[in-house]
């Protein structure tokens, strides 16, 4: 197992639904503390890692969100079953029969399953329908309301998909690759980076509540006051039979650079990146021989959407890696894409200086 794969497994094993990112945050803090000048966790839970200090030069922030999608207990039935609502963008069709973990107030992890009507007793029309999230229930083996409460379950407890990690060839299949893959790259870049070769002041941020509101990173951005923003997140891979031809993004063909992200439902936000920053990233990738896939992400966005609007506006770009089956119980990505993304971020950080910043803001 490579270092990157080991980091990815360690991160996907940890539970961190929105607002409950402590397990991942503490892991990042421990790893980053070996190399960074300072590591702090703010009130919301953002992990802010300052690698170095420079009296001159731009301030660069590289960030990846730590949280994952999930569910929240809204009611405990008299017979001990749990009713839930969605936390983040979960597809209802992916829920029935799935293994889950309920996180109690004390931090205990209780395994369970989302119930599904027995196939033998389901009506013909029910076999081709999707059960709404309002109607699903979770079975954790408790027999009554009192039994569930005694186990530590309360209304408001978060629920995540069961932990899964396996590798087939160069592909990794796991829960929460969105965005533990980005966090893995962040940590591996941090470990390999040589502060003495930098011409900038570099910060790494593990951000919170991206899947909830996209705004959890804002206090961290305000405390760092960066001149350049680099966000690491996923891009939907369109190389499966059901998405073939939708876009050119393929798993295994390198990291992605998003030229346009927009969420046309609910939150009207996204990112049209700095044109100068797009040119800079493209030139660096070409110089280093790093394959770079151009991505347009309509229907999705990242927490850079609002971060870019801080202060007088910040040159910002979304870099990422292709992921199959996004926002489902088991996602898939290619380790080679993560390795190339790491190389790209390293190359960018070594090149960013006052001259580059002047062009980005010109």
Mean pLDDT per 10-residue interval, the chain, length 362 residues:
94 97 98 95 98 92 98 98 95 93 95 93 87 95 97 97 97 98 98 96 98 96 97 97 93 97 80 95 98 93 94 96 97 98 98 94 78
Residue 165: what pLDDT? 98
Q: Measured between alpha carbons, how far is residue 104 from residues 20, 101, 200, 202 in Å?
A: 11, 10, 43, 37
- pTM of this prediction exceeds 0.85: yes
Mention every residue, 6+ apart, whose C-beta is less than 8 A from residue 162: 98, 99, 100, 101, 111, 175, 329
**Euclidean distance between CA atoms 273 and 318, whole angstroms:** 8
Choose the catalytic residue: 68, 188, 201, 210: 210
Residue 266: what pLDDT? 65
User: 234 - beta bridge partners?
Assistant: 321
Residue 125: what pLDDT? 85
**Euclidean distance between CA atoms 2 and 320, whole angstroms:** 20
Cite the beta strand spans of the chain per DSSP E.
38-41, 47-50, 59-65, 70-76, 82-87, 99-103, 109-114, 138-139, 158-161, 165-168, 171-174, 201-207, 228-236, 256-263, 269-271, 293-298, 316-324, 331-334
Instruction: Determine the distance from the C-alpha atom of residue 208 to the mean position of all C-alpha atoms in its chain, rounded to a whole number.
Output: 9
| Whether 220 contacts 50, CB under 8 Å | no
| Whether 181 contacts 326, CB under 8 Å | no
Q: What is the DSSP letter of 186?
A: H
Structure tokens at 98: 């799935």
61, HSE (Cβ side, Cα atoms, 13 Å): 30
In CATH, the number for domain 81-161 is 2.40.30.40
| Three-state SS at 325 | coil
| Three-state SS at 82 | strand
Query: Residue ranges of the alpha helices (H) in the chain?
Result: 3-13, 22-33, 145-150, 177-192, 218-224, 275-288, 304-307, 335-351, 354-361
**Euclidean distance between CA atoms 206 and 26, whole angstroms:** 10
Q: Which CATH class is domain 3-68+175-361?
A: alpha beta
**Euclidean distance between CA atoms 284 and 291, whole angstroms:** 11
Q: Give the domain ranges of the chain.
A: 3-68+175-361, 81-161
* Known catalytic membership, residue 210: yes
Q: 81-161: same fold as 3-68+175-361?
A: no
Structure tokens at 212: 């909830």
């Amino acid at each position: 197992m490579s270092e990157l794969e080991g980091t990815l497994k360690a991160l996907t094993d940890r539970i961190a639904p929105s607002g409950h990112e402590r397990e991942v945050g503490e892991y990042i803090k421990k790893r980053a503390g070996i190399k960074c000048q300072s590591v702090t966790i703010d009130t919301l839970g953002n992990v802010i890692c300052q690698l170095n200090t420079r009296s001159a030069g731009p301030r660069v922030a590289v960030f990846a969100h730590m949280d994952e999608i999930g569910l929240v207990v809204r009611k405990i039935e008299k017979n001990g079953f749990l009713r839930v609502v969605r936390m983040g963008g979960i597809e209802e069709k992916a829920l029935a029969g799935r293994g889950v973990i309920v996180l109690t107030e004390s931090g205990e992890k209780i395994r369970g399953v989302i119930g599904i009507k027995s196939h033998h007793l389901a009506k013909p029309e029910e076999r081709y329908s999707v059960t709404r999230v309002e109607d699903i229930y979770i079975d954790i083996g408790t027999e009554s309301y009192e039994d569930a409460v005694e186990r530590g379950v309360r209304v408001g407890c978060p629920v995540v998909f069961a932990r899964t990690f396996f590798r087939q060839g160069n592909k990794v299949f796991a829960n929460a690759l969105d965005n533990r893959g980005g966090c893995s790259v962040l940590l591996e870049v941090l470990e390999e980076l040589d502060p003495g070769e930098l011409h900038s002041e570099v910060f790494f941020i593990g951000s919170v509540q991206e899947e909830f509101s996209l705004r959890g990173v804002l206090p961290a951005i305000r405390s760092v006051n960066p001149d350049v923003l680099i966000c690491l997140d996923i891009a939907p891979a369109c190389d499966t039979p059901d998405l073939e031809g939708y876009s050119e993004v393929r798993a295994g063909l390198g990291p992605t650079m998003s030229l346009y992200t927009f969420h046309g439902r609910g939150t009207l936000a996204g990112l049209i990146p700095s044109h100068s920053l797009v040119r800079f990233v493209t030139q660096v990738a070409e110089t280093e021989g790093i394959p770079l896939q151009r991505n347009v992400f309509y229907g999705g966005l990242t927490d850079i959407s609002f971060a870019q609007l801080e202060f007088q506006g910040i040159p910002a770009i979304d870099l990422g890696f292709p992921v199959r089956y996004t926002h489902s119980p088991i996602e898939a990505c290619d380790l080679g894409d993560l390795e190339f993304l790491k190389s790209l971020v390293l190359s960018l950080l070594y090149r960013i200086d006052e001259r580059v910043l002047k062009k980005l803001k010109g």
